[in-house]
Structure 1
Amino acid sequence: MPVIERRPTEVIRRAWELQRSGVDASCAQRQHEATRLLRRGIRLLDSIHPVPADHQDDWLRSRIRLLTTLAFSEAETVGLTNGLARLDDVLAVIERFDDPAVRAELIAPVNHNRGLLLMGGGRNEESIACFDAALGFREESLAVAPDPAPVVESLLNTLATRGLAYIRLGRVKRAREDLNRGIKLAEKYELRVSAAEVRRHLGTLELRVGNVPAALRCYEESERSYRALEVEVPPLLRHEQAQALLTAGLSDEAGRHLDEVLPQLRQEQGNTRELGQAELFRAEAALLSGDLDLARSLAESARQRMRKWGCQTCVANATIIGLRADTADALRTGEIPAALPARALRHARAMSVPRLAEQATVAKMLTVRLEIRRGNLRRASELLAEVPRPGQLTPTDHRMLRRLCRAELAVAHDDRGAALGEIRAGLAELDRVRDRMGGLELLSGTALHGRELGELAVRLVLGGEHPRRLFDWLERTRAQTYRYEPLAQADDPELAECLAEIRGLTQSIHQALHDGHPTAAARARRAELLREAHRMGWHAGQWGKARPVAKLDEVAARLKNRALVSFAASADELVAVVVLDGGARIVRLGSAKQASESARMLNVDLNAVAPDHTPQPLVEVIMTSARRQAERLDAQLVRPLLEVTGDRDLVIVPTGGLYAVPWGVLPSLHYRPTVVAPSATAWLSAELARNDRARKIVLVRGPGLPAARAEIDKLATHYRASKQLSGQGATATAVLPAVDGAKLAHIAAHGAHEPENALFSRLELADGAMFAHEMAGLRRPPRQVVLAACELALNRIRPGDEALGFASALLASGSQTVIAPLSKVGDQSSAAAMDDYHRALAGGASPAVALADAVAVDPMRRPFVCLGAG
């Protein structure tokens, strides 16, 4: 008798241990091992026959746990049908409980788990019905529970998971409602880990609808919460942060982020799917940053790992990254290994399943480019004919790659007209993407897609002496971000919600294709929403109606007695189109690389000499070097141009490395009013912007600037009235509404420009960073902004001549003029320069004139530029 009593207890205890081991194996992606452990536990329970009455409850609950875990394991290894069948077995076990309240309590998690399995299988509508059933019971339980905390945790889990299902369906409003409610519940009951998890899901939603800044903010808040609670940051959060950074074009930052994560994943998790995904993201970041060797090695590592886990899509994506890196290397050097196009085509042919159609198309187009470069034009034409026409959901970079292939093939056939026609059509497609899907992050990012098209166009027209044609193509290919007229009317919330759902559905369709799930319902819903958006007057994104590209005659008419100089470079040839007196001419200026290197070296010297207390002997050495670089740039760029422009004021549109030139530092431009613009179109737009009756002057002093308190006080004396924010009052929360609608906003604050996306450049204020995307979101951006403490103008360029930095986001969102330094500037030098500038400005001088006079007093220590209109 004692033996009989002992045996059930030991068996049930052992079964529970096997279930926990099965969970551990499943979490480590060892599903077959998990299945063996769980089935062994079930067999152990079956060995107890009959089950003693006093062990019945424990025996049933142990069996439920084993079968539930087995359902997920078998769904992964055998198929969804098997997993759902195991949950049916769980329901049969639950029916053996006599108490109906216990049965109801146990059925709720079964509904939740059935929803999870259905969602994992792409059956999201069915999963939501299951989550609804689970939530119904948990809502009722919460209303009567003496201790609500355990019920709230279960309710939160289901609520957040239903939110994820809504995200996958592209139902943005419902997803946001569930996730926001989840965060409020978690905070109300002080479930801080749950709050962090739900906020991560909210970041996923924001990323799906294209609000990258909001997504990153959610992820950052979630990570901060985990760390404050001393809880390990989930790998999924790391991956999602990297994905958001890559979406924003911040490949360097995404790379740094993943470099911190990868060693930890390798040490803690071994050969897991999460590690493979992290390596895949890191390979993509390396490719975008131009680190081809790193991209290749990580892509190959990710490919091997994901092959083990059976993710065909991830294997194909890794293969494409490796091919892109090899192709970029070969095209750059001009050395095309004979085996490379054959390998690319072999991969294209192997990606034959429908879900890999996009990857197969990219591999084939890479083959086309390689064959063109090898001179195999017939073969390239045959392969290009196999590339399907883009569909509604074809990614932008795939569309542009197809156009590039067609244009390069036309060039190879010596049909320049056809090549320019393809480029023109491709850039028009980019315009439509920008016009329709809005968002400054997208407007800026599309420059990358059209970069090679634009470079090819400039190369084709640069050889001749046709200044008008070159001017037109330069304007067509560069700085398209600034072509948008910010919306003056209030946003249409119904249209905004519709567009968010369209974006969400687009991402959901791509995710479903990745996972091999059906997409018909999502495609039908997306098509319906597109029709609805058109009905509501959808004509542009959040940045408003697109302006046409400026024509030379329009620019010339507005210049009056000024001259516009638009630089262009192809290979190592640097030229300038000079527009004045109603006409234009081309001036050839020698080596583009030489000019860029001189600009870089000048910038280095100015950064070195900037600190207020640099020892005088060192200052003299650095100044000698800086003057030498300034003289070189002056001799190469400015003097040949002045032979054409005479003593006119200048509007300069740089290219590439010339954005780093602080033009007022160059000897021939001392005291000459000079405006820098990212394109002639941007300059003309700023010039023609209507001046409202704004009179508000706002002066801001950020933290950590010893000279700034006196500076702000002194600047205030130049104006009759001004609003001053300083010390603890200079918060982003206070500054943003203060500068909205201002005539002039002067902000003295440390900051940093983000070289890969203007939106994420920042100013450091009393309560932390104020990002450019927050300034860009103002209803009435200040007419003029002065950034007075750090290099927040622009000194690195995104391919496609999209000028970057805090200043560019301001210009793109409607500010007419931005005054900012191109390199570091000392606090004392900044204060002195700004006092001179504001005195002249308050006296009636234009920004360009006032700045030229202020800079000329001490050029090397005052590397400010006037951006936009002067």
Structure 2
Amino acid sequence: MGTRGAGARPERLPHRSHGPAAERPPRRHRPPPRVPASAPTPLRLRAQEVRAARAAGRGRDGEALRAAAAGLDLLSAWQRSFGALDLQASVAMHASDLVFTGLAAAVRRRDPATLFEWSERARHLSQQVAPVRPPHDDALAADLAELRMLRADLAGADWTTDPTVRALRDRVRERQWSATGSGATRERRTLAETSALLPSDTAVLAYVYTGTGLHGVVVRPDGATVVDLSWSRVRTALDGLRADLDMAALTRGGAMGPVTARALTARLAVLDDELLGPMRRAAAGAERLVVTVPGILGGVPWAMLPGMHGVPFTLATSVSRWFHGTTAAASTPSVGFAAGPRVPRAAEEVRHAADSWTTRGATRLLQGTEATVTAATALAASVDVLHIAAHGRHAVDNPLFSGFELADGVLFGYDVDLIPRVPRTVILSACELGRSSVRWGEEALGMTRVWLHAGADSVIAAPVTVPDDDACELLTAVHDGLSTGASPADALASAALTTGVSAPFQCHGNGF
């Protein structure tokens, strides 16, 4: 990263000339040039970046932390003028080196409070400003509808290269940026506040990636511990993980099924030992877990690790937001289901899941030609729990163009911003929609984050391909728990134990 070797200077040979030059005093370190407060924000951020890097290079970690923190505070003030998720994440690119410099200095300090503070700073980059829900934009809705038609017309081709598509995508982004305002600023929690507020059965596992190493902070009601992890072994296990997960799902029941299953089991065992095990040991006795991860760990199927089987956990966007975000559940929740086309058991899945709510809440189902984008977004605005079973696709180039296929086309991430009120709990029974794209080293942005940013408390989704049978059985059982008042994380953990299904579905946000 930009901070590596930032303080190094080339060796200087002794000056051997004679005369006036020899009598000059030795050159001193020059202070960095002063940048006036009136300078553009990116330039002022760059100045703080240089100060932090110089201090870190000279072993002055306290000074490096102060300079990096000052830079991030400057960025926070800048971000308050933006409400759109992708715009906030793009602005955060200016903080990449500041974050890594601060994280590395915090790791060297070995102080749990300092490392936790910097873990939260990294998590908080694109979510410290709560968005103000924009008014309905008919022009934006029309552009998205046209994009849906173009995507259908260009099926089988790389639709993003079409000039008309590119122009429309740019226009959608610009409309959304101008329409979404910023609201209140979310405050970060300190380690002391977190320990004091944690329930007695809960621990926080906060993972920290410095660009060269992997570490963690485990926070319990009675204290906190810094944990060192083997990044080299974790990285080796991560290489090929997605391919193993996809192959295991696609070859189940075939001749290659046992081979791919063994390879995946071995890889998950390494991650369990190297990534989860040391943190769980430091959180001994905890029955529930709040997990925060850097973008580099965004593809880990935590629910499939042996040490997580049957354990209620939530992948929180940040610990601070986990504390601030949960709202009271409705006493008689309304529940909505939508089944997209070409998913073999989608209709069966939503019908059986709806049966769990027969006597406990009002339910609505969209199937076949009724499951349109307009109907689904209207449904989302009127229910407390939304379950969509459909084919999903993650758009790496712009995750807000990720979406799932409905009867008349793809419901994009940008469509979510047209929903005036989103459900508290969203279940995405669609492959890939739990994936995120790593942006600028520490930011992760995907369809799950889109719903959370829009105001959902929790999202259940999977980052990889899931067999239809597993999704149908597991998620139907999840509704058995939700309908009796269980939290999403508790309902998902209980469903895994009841069904015996090991699947990559996991709870994001405020799962309990």
TM-score normalised by L of structure 1:
0.49
In the TM superposition, residue 682 of structure 1 has moved relative to its aligned partner by 2.5
In the TM superposition, residue 758 of structure 1 has moved relative to its aligned partner by 3.7
Residues 1:444 and 2:89 aligned together: yes
SS at match of 1:579: strand
- Summarize the Cα distance change of 1:420–1:743 in structure 2 as closer, same or farther, 3 Å threshold: same
Q: Is the 8 A contact 1:596 1:656 kept in 2?
A: no
Q: Which residue of 1 aligns with 2:296?
A: 657
Matches within 5 A, 1:324-335: none
The separation in 2 between residues aligned to 1:544 and 1:480, in whole angstroms, is 15
Residues 1:853 and 2:494 aligned together: yes
For residues 639-691 of structure 1, what are the alpha-carbon distances to aligned partners after superposition, in whole Å with 9 as ceiling and x for unaligned?
2222222242111111243221111211121111111112212322223x354
The separation in 1 between residues aligned to 2:498 and 2:291, in whole angstroms, is 22
Q: Is the 8 A contact 1:596 1:657 kept in 2?
A: no
SS at match of 1:786: strand
Q: Is the 8 A contact 1:458 1:470 kept in 2?
A: yes
Matches within 5 A, 1:225-264: none
For residues 245-271 of structure 1, what are the alpha-carbon distances to aligned partners after superposition, in whole Å with 9 as ceiling and x for unaligned?
xxxxxxxxxxxxxxxxxxxxxxxxxxx
Q: Which residue of 1 aligns with 2:262?
A: 624
Residues 1:569 and 2:209 aligned together: yes
For structure 1, which segment, 412-421 or 818-827, has the greater mean C-alpha deviation from structure 2 after superposition?
Answer: 412-421
- Summarize the Cα distance change of 1:637–1:402 in structure 2 as closer, same or farther, 3 Å threshold: same
Q: Which residue of 2 aligns with 1:634?
A: 272
Q: Which residue of 1 aligns with 2:425?
A: 784
The separation in 1 between residues aligned to 2:4 and 2:62, in whole angstroms, is 27
Q: Is the 8 A contact 2:463 2:504 kept in 1?
A: yes
Q: Which residue of 2 aligns with 1:516?
A: none
Residues 1:419 and 2:64 aligned together: yes
Matches within 5 A, 1:598-613: 598-611=237-250
- Summarize the Cα distance change of 1:571–1:708 in structure 2 as closer, same or farther, 3 Å threshold: closer
In the TM superposition, residue 403 of structure 1 has moved relative to its aligned partner by 1.8
Q: Which residue of 2 aligns with 1:644?
A: 282
Letter of the 2:111 counterpart: H
For residues 488-543 of structure 1, what are the alpha-carbon distances to aligned partners after superposition, in whole Å with 9 as ceiling and x for unaligned?
7x8799xxxxxxxxxxxxxxxxxxxxxxxxxxxxxxxxxxxxxxxxxxxxxx9724
For residues 703-739 of structure 1, what are the alpha-carbon distances to aligned partners after superposition, in whole Å with 9 as ceiling and x for unaligned?
1212111112211211133111122211111111210
In the TM superposition, residue 438 of structure 1 has moved relative to its aligned partner by 2.6
Aligned residues: 452
Residues 1:408 and 2:44 aligned together: no
In the TM superposition, residue 625 of structure 1 has moved relative to its aligned partner by 0.5
Q: Which residue of 2 aligns with 1:17?
A: none
For residues 821-863 of structure 1, what are the alpha-carbon distances to aligned partners after superposition, in whole Å with 9 as ceiling and x for unaligned?
1211122221111112112222332211221133356777511
The separation in 2 between residues aligned to 1:378 and 1:834, in whole angstroms, is 69
- Summarize the Cα distance change of 1:808–1:703 in structure 2 as closer, same or farther, 3 Å threshold: same
Q: Which residue of 2 aligns with 1:708?
A: 346
Q: Tell me which of 744, 749, 759 is aligned to 2:385.
A: 744
Q: Which residue of 1 aligns with 2:452?
A: 811
Q: Which residue of 1 aligns with 2:128?
A: 483
Identity of aligned residues (%): 30
In the TM superposition, residue 573 of structure 1 has moved relative to its aligned partner by 2.8
Q: Tell me which of 481, 488, 508 is aligned to 1:840.
A: 481
The separation in 2 between residues aligned to 1:693 and 1:374, in whole angstroms, is 68
Letter of the 2:242 counterpart: N
In the TM superposition, residue 615 of structure 1 has moved relative to its aligned partner by 4.6
Higher share of residues assigned helix: 1
In the TM superposition, residue 795 of structure 1 has moved relative to its aligned partner by 4.6
For structure 1, which segment, 435-444 or 780-789, has the greater mean C-alpha deviation from structure 2 after superposition?
Answer: 435-444
Q: Is the 8 A contact 1:599 1:657 kept in 2?
A: no
Q: Is the 8 A contact 1:475 1:679 kept in 2?
A: yes
In the TM superposition, residue 566 of structure 1 has moved relative to its aligned partner by 0.2
SS at match of 2:342: coil
Q: Is the 8 A contact 1:576 1:588 kept in 2?
A: yes
* More RCO (CA 8 Å, sep 6+): 2
- Summarize the Cα distance change of 1:850–1:690 in structure 2 as closer, same or farther, 3 Å threshold: closer
- Summarize the Cα distance change of 1:491–1:633 in structure 2 as closer, same or farther, 3 Å threshold: same
Q: Which residue of 1 aligns with 2:112?
A: 467
In the TM superposition, residue 632 of structure 1 has moved relative to its aligned partner by 0.6
Output the aligned Cα RMSD.
Answer: 2.9
- Summarize the Cα distance change of 1:440–1:638 in structure 2 as closer, same or farther, 3 Å threshold: closer
SS at match of 1:482: coil
Q: Tell me which of 776, 783, 797 is aligned to 2:438.
A: 797
For residues 598-645 of structure 1, what are the alpha-carbon distances to aligned partners after superposition, in whole Å with 9 as ceiling and x for unaligned?
13433321111223x645321100110111011111111222222222
The separation in 2 between residues aligned to 1:661 and 1:775, in whole angstroms, is 25
SS at match of 1:436: coil
The separation in 2 between residues aligned to 1:548 and 1:706, in whole angstroms, is 45
SS at match of 1:603: helix
Q: Is the 8 A contact 2:426 2:456 kept in 1?
A: yes
Matches within 5 A, 1:62-101: none
In the TM superposition, residue 789 of structure 1 has moved relative to its aligned partner by 1.8
SS at match of 2:36: coil
Residues 1:557 and 2:192 aligned together: no
In the TM superposition, residue 868 of structure 1 has moved relative to its aligned partner by 0.7
Which ranges of structure 2 fall in alignment gaps of 5 or more residues? 13-25, 138-178
SS at match of 1:675: strand
In the TM superposition, residue 400 of structure 1 has moved relative to its aligned partner by 2.5
The separation in 1 between residues aligned to 2:328 and 2:28, in whole angstroms, is 55
- Summarize the Cα distance change of 1:680–1:756 in structure 2 as closer, same or farther, 3 Å threshold: farther
Letter of the 2:411 counterpart: M
Letter of the 1:418 counterpart: E
Matches within 5 A, 1:498-513: none
Q: Is the 8 A contact 2:35 2:44 kept in 1?
A: no
Q: Is the 8 A contact 1:575 1:586 kept in 2?
A: yes
Q: Which residue of 2 aligns with 1:431?
A: 76
SS at match of 1:671: coil
Matches within 5 A, 1:177-192: none
- Summarize the Cα distance change of 1:576–1:411 in structure 2 as closer, same or farther, 3 Å threshold: closer
The separation in 1 between residues aligned to 2:261 and 2:83, in whole angstroms, is 45
Q: Which residue of 1 aligns with 2:142?
A: none
For residues 154-178 of structure 1, what are the alpha-carbon distances to aligned partners after superposition, in whole Å with 9 as ceiling and x for unaligned?
xxxxxxxxxxxxxxxxxxxxxxxxx
The separation in 2 between residues aligned to 1:596 and 1:769, in whole angstroms, is 34
Q: Is the 8 A contact 1:756 1:798 kept in 2?
A: no
Letter of the 1:562 counterpart: T
In the TM superposition, residue 756 of structure 1 has moved relative to its aligned partner by 5.0
Q: Which residue of 2 aligns with 1:679?
A: 318
The separation in 2 between residues aligned to 1:848 and 1:760, in whole angstroms, is 27
Q: Is the 8 A contact 1:754 1:804 kept in 2?
A: no
The separation in 2 between residues aligned to 1:617 and 1:644, in whole angstroms, is 41
Q: Is the 8 A contact 2:135 2:418 kept in 1?
A: no
For residues 207-249 of structure 1, what are the alpha-carbon distances to aligned partners after superposition, in whole Å with 9 as ceiling and x for unaligned?
xxxxxxxxxxxxxxxxxxxxxxxxxxxxxxxxxxxxxxxxxxx
The separation in 2 between residues aligned to 1:569 and 1:808, in whole angstroms, is 20
Q: Is the 8 A contact 1:479 1:801 kept in 2?
A: no
Q: Tell me which of 212, 219, 224 is aligned to 1:584.
A: 224
The separation in 1 between residues aligned to 2:204 and 2:107, in whole angstroms, is 18
Structure ID, larger Rg: 1
Which ranges of structure 1 fall in alignment gaps of 5 or more residues? 1-327, 335-368, 494-539
- Summarize the Cα distance change of 1:867–1:333 in structure 2 as closer, same or farther, 3 Å threshold: closer
In the TM superposition, residue 411 of structure 1 has moved relative to its aligned partner by 2.8
Matches within 5 A, 1:22-421: 374=10, 381=30, 384-385=32-33, 388-389=35-36, 391=38, 394=40, 396-421=41-66
Letter of the 2:203 counterpart: A
Q: Is the 8 A contact 1:596 1:658 kept in 2?
A: no
